[in-house]
Amino acid sequence: MAGLMGIGLTGLKAHQSALSTTSNNVANTNTPGYTRQETRFEATPSHFEGYGFIGAGVNIADISRISDQFLIDQFRADSTVFNYQDTFVDHISILDGLLADVTTGLSPQMTNFFKALQGGADDPTSIPERQLILSQSKGLVSRFNALYDRLQNQGQTIAEEMTSHVDRINRLSESIAELNGEITEALGDTNNSIASQPNDLLDQRDEKLRELAELVQVTVIPRGDTRVDVMVGNGQALVVGTLASKLTVEQSREDPSLKEVSIIDHNGKTRAITHTLSGGKLGGLIEYRDGILGKTTNALGRIAIVMADSINDQHRLGMDLEGHLGGYFFSDVNSPLASSSRFVSNDNNALPLDRAGRVEIVDASLLTADDYVLKFNGPTDNDYVLSRRSTDEIVRAGRFQRPLPADIEVEGIRITLESGSFQQGDEYLIQPVRFGARDFKMALDRVEAIALASPISTDTSLGNVGNAVISAGEMLNVDNPMTNRPLLAFSVPDALTPPMVVRFITDSVYEVLDASDPANLVALSPPLTNRHYIPGLKNEIFTDDPGQMYISATGADIAKIPAPGGGPYTNGYGAQTLTVNAREPATGVVTTASVSLVANQSAGAMAATLNQVNGVSASAFTLVELDNFTGATVGLTINGEVVTVAAPDNGDPQHIAEAINGNANLQNLNIVALSDGNRVTLRNTTGDDIIVEVTGGATDSVDVRTKNAGPVTVSAGNGTAIGGFLDVHLTNGVSLIANNTNVFAETPVIESSYRGFRVNIVGEPAAGDTFTIGYNAKGISDNRNALAMVSLETRGILGGGVNTYSDGYATMVEEIGTITNQRKIDKESSKALLLQSENAWHEISGVNLDEEAGRLIQYQAAYNASAQVVSIARDIFNTLIQSV
């Protein structure tokens, strides 16, 4: 009887528990992270009664969580990916809308700016048109500044969200550590079987882990004692057993404008882990900030810097409404404040903090949208490595020289280490374009100061015989790009120093003269003499190479007059060996060439020898003056040709010059003559020697002189050979030294031959034709500089001279749009995967009300049946009692 009663009671108890478990499932249907529980039954061990084993009822084996660890891990991983994509898409969508929208983007304002410039070019004296240029310029400045501010505001929002997420991570990690302890405590001895688990605590921990995975990618490592460890980043321990590390958000030591995430270990040490974190909302924020927002800020800054620099460069080449050279239109991209802000010291650099540096833009067309990191890794304090921040690619490595300053030039920028104790272990962030849009400001505020005209004007003399024409002139620079100092041509305000005249000596040889005194033309300094003209081609009068240098042969033998004698005649030039060094500007590699000048060689032959050397352009001419013609017949002979002039004009310089110019043989020898009425000037335009002889009567003579010697009297029966002058132009990086002072000085004096503007002549000139070059003082209606500024809109300037401003901005917008669309697709894919893994988890671990309702009916029936067993056992017992 007792056995029947006991069996019934075990059934009642077991199914009551099952009903409670099922009811608990129903009650927690909507509880996040709740895992369906199930009561597991087992038969009570039967006992032997002689005739067989009699059952003893039922026991509860355990109340278990219905879970699949693979599905839990997958659900957690998919939560990480989706929240990462969702956060990234939320922020990049804002950026995409900002840049592409016509009301907030940059393209419409750039178009309006150049339209206003075109209006100014159409009517350069119009004040309303100039006012419109100023207004649209300010609008462009405002748009750049507004875009920068919006990007900065988004960065600030990201910093605040990072702080919020880190706070949430800290709370979750503390909760997980506490739950680890509670689970261990609930299980008692950690070596016992874990058949009876604290299900609710395990659910809570799994839910906390899932919530943590929404914020950042984590690695969960189970321990044998039912606790779990949680790792983030590259294995940084966030939770170890019952201990939780703390994350913190602080100012970046590398980039003070950013926040970085650091972990504080159990010893209180802080270590930055920002770049090791990925996944989840925090990972999405970090990747968007560093991969998109920072690059977009840089790309926008690059456009601003390139635009400001190129517009400024062109505007400074113009002349304003008041006749002054143009100044800066926009703010100087290399102002002291802008330059120093690009050089950021790392907070970990050793004391003393006395280092100063700056970053200047030297070629805006070569700028990239990258930041760089400058490290001094040793082995000496002077060894450096410059790498691209985004990829760690080494851009330049080397060793700088002390004393400071020292320069590192790469990709359009020049990093200057100005002063201080730069030392091994130092690190600096180089941000050439980060603040370009912020620093984009107006530099002028008066319409009269807008330089739409060109300061150079040219003219053709009305008396010219030939049909050659001179170009209007094109400005190149007002400062020498090699020294950043004002060019001599523009050193005097509102003037060209000096004004010039191009004069043709023959129809194929010209010279450029200083016309400061139009009545007394003199040689330029440095001179442009005996220049050869090629009809049918565009002949550039001045070099456009800022690094070209001029050297004149000023040795002791140049243009001296050997003592007259009976011949043979030589110019007396001594031999000389020249060493030409050529330094390649890009690589710094120096090559050397040796040039031998032979004794008594003509200047023309020397020039031909020098012209065989790369980077050297030499020209020669010979110039001799004759006067004081004495004697009845004079008997003058030039290079073997007797100059015949009939009496009484045989001593008249004008007639002598005409006779020389009329001699076909002398013409073939490139000898021409010019008389001023008192003397005859002979010129050999190719630099060959001029031989002067007197072959007349015993009393005949002539005086010979050069710029460097004379007068020397050549009497009857004697002659002398006069050598020529030698001019040499050296391209950038080329230098010349001599082993003696015969022809060139041992270390020749060099002068820049760069004048900062370009002028060309085309057509067929005639001897005596002249052209003038001067300051465009009355050219306020000139629009050449306005047109040059307008042309910048369609000129390839960015990316090594490939892309226009609009191209650069369109590329940036297109890249953002492409990434946005791709990430939206990725987000939808990750959302589908998350839903799939969530459904799979719910299939196994979630509460199904239909199933639970069925179980309630099942357990209720079993409970009622067990109660009936107890009732029957009681009735039998009562019957037995009554029968006694």
In tens, the pLDDT along 139-179 reads: 999 999 999 999 999 999 999 999 999 999 999 999 999 99
- Of 752, 784, 799, the domain-final residue: 752
The 10s digit of each residue's pLDDT in 582-591 is 988 777 788 9
Same domain as 644, residue 552: yes
7 versus 215: the higher-pLDDT residue is 215
Give 99's pLDDT tier (boundaries 50, 70, 90).
very high
Please report whether residue 867 resides in a domain: yes
Phi, psi of 824 (to 5 degrees): -65, -40
pLDDT of residue 780: 87
The C-alpha angle 570, 576, 581, rounded to 5 degrees, equals 145
111 shares its domain with 165: yes
Q: What is the pLDDT of residue 56?
A: 80
Q: Is the pLDDT of residue 194 over 60?
A: no
**173 plus 197 within the same structural domain:** yes
**Looking at 233-242, 440-449, 826-835, 870-879, which range is the least confident one?**
870-879
696: pLDDT strictly greater than 90:
no
DSSP string covering 154-168: HHHHHHHHHHHHHHH
Residues 682-694 as b or e (16 or more Cβ within 10 Å = b): bbbbbbbbbbbbb
Q: Where are the beta strands (DSSP E) in 533-645?
A: 539-540, 549-552, 576-583, 590-597, 616-630, 636-638, 641-642
- Residues 260, 341, single domain; the answer is no
**Residue 591 backbone phi and psi in degrees, to 5:** -115, 150
Residue 326 lies in a domain: no
Q: What is the pLDDT of residues 447-473, one digit of tens each?
A: 999 999 999 999 999 999 999 999 999
Q: Are 701 and 735 in a shared domain? A: yes
Using 50, 70 and 90 to split pLDDT, how confident is the model at 514? very high
Q: Which residue has the tokens 């005649």?
A: 569
Tens digits of residue pLDDT in 100-147: 998 999 999 999 999 999 999 999 999 999 999 999 999 999 999 999
Statement to judge: residues 538 and 583 lie in one domain: no
- Position 651 scores a pLDDT of 78
Q: What pLDDT sits at residue 373?
A: 97
User: Tell me, what's the pLDDT at 43?
Assistant: 86
| Residue 632 or residue 851, greater confidence | 851
Domain boundary among 435, 464, 484: 435
Rounded to an integer, what distance in angstroms lies between the CA atom of residue 106 and that of residue 151? 14
Q: Tell me what pLDDT residue 191 has.
A: 47
- Domain match, 366 and 471 both: no
> Would 316 be classed as within a structural domain?
no
N-terminal to C-terminal alpha carbon distance within the chain: 15
In a domain, 793, yes or no: no
253 φ, ψ (degrees, to nearest 5) = -75, -25
pLDDT digits (tens, 9 = 90+) for 778-796: 888 999 999 999 999 999 9
What value does the mean pLDDT take over residues 337-342? Answer: 96
Residue 431 has pLDDT above 50, yes or no: yes
Q: How far is CA 215 from the centre of its chain?
A: 35
Name the 3-class secondary structure at 194: coil
Claim to verify: residue 519 and residue 594 sit in the same structural domain = no
What is the rounded CA–CA span in Å between residue 737 and residue 746?
A: 6
Position 852 pLDDT exceeds 90: no
pLDDT at 511: 95
Q: Which residue has the higher pLDDT, 878 or 246?
A: 246
575-609 per-position pLDDT tens digit: 999 999 998 877 778 899 999 999 999 999 999 99
Give the total number of structural domains in the chain: 5
**378, part of any domain:** yes
C-alpha neighbours within 13 Å on the C-beta side of residue 153: 9
Mean pLDDT of the chain: 92
Show which of 752, 783, 815 is a domain's final residue: 752
Q: Are residues 687 and 708 in the same domain?
A: yes
Residue 240 has pLDDT above 60, yes or no: yes
Beta bridge partners of 240: 243
- Which parts of 142-277 are beta strand (E)? 218-222, 228-232, 236-240, 243-244, 246-251, 259-264, 270-272
For the cut 60, the answer to whether the pLDDT of residue 501 exceeds it is yes
| Domain range for 743 | 547-752
Cα(65)–Cα(278) distance, rounded to whole angstroms? 31
198 lies in the same domain as 108: yes
Is residue 308 included in any domain, yes or no?
no
What is residue 222's predicted lDDT score, i.e. its pLDDT? 93
Whether residues 656 and 567 fall in one domain: yes
- The per-residue pLDDT for 632 is 55
Answer with the residue of higher pLDDT: 144 or 881: 144
Average pLDDT over residues 405-428: 95
Q: What is the pLDDT of residue 231?
A: 95
- Output the pTM of the full model: 0.85
pLDDT recorded at residue 481: 86
pLDDT on residue 232: 95
Express each pLDDT in 484-495 by its tens digit: 889 999 999 999
Buried b (16+ CB within 10 A) or exposed e, 576-608: bebebebeeeeeeeeeebebebeebbbbbbbbe
Domain membership of residue 311 (yes or no) is no
Question: What percent of the chain has pLDDT above 90?
Answer: 74
Does residue 50 surpass a pLDDT of 80?
no
Residues 170 and 145 in one domain: yes
Note the pLDDT of residue 1.
Answer: 46
In a domain, 328, yes or no: no
Per-residue pLDDT averaged across 639-648, rounded? 84
Describe the strand order of the beta sheet including 246-251 as a list of residue ranges: 246-251, 259-264, 270-272
